[in-house]
Amino acid sequence: MTWDVDARDSSQCARVRRFIFGYTLHNNGKVYRYEGFVEREDVRYLGQSVLFVTEDALAPLRRFLRSERVGHVITDAWLGSVMPSWA
């Protein structure tokens, strides 16, 4: 999945950034962490405005991007075997 947010729309950029990457609030010495979409088990961040998303996780991301009127493209893809880093 790729998407394109108009950089001139700072509020839309912030909403998309918070949804995708999450955010942290600090209040009276307490820290509140809100996980973003990329922290899901079935999502991988590949690069700027590019995510690998399993079919099961795709629907909520599409709903969000549509609700924000953010242009996006879905390309069918797959990952091959995962090789352990010590191999």
79 part of a folded domain: no
Number of domains in the chain: 1
The answer to whether residue 82 scores a pLDDT higher than 70 is no
Closest among 84, 36, 37, 44 to 61, alpha carbons compared: 37
CB count within 10 Å of CB 12 equals: 15
| Structure-token pair, residue 84 | 């352990």
Query: Residue 84 — pLDDT band, cuts 50, 70, 90?
Result: confident
86 part of a folded domain: no
- Residues 6+ positions from 27 with CB-CB distance below 8 Å: none
78 part of a folded domain: no
Domain extent at residue 27 = 2-73
Q: Across residues 32-48, what is the average pLDDT?
A: 94
* Residue 77: per-residue pLDDT: 83
51 part of a folded domain: yes
Rounded CA-CA distance 61/22 in Å is 13
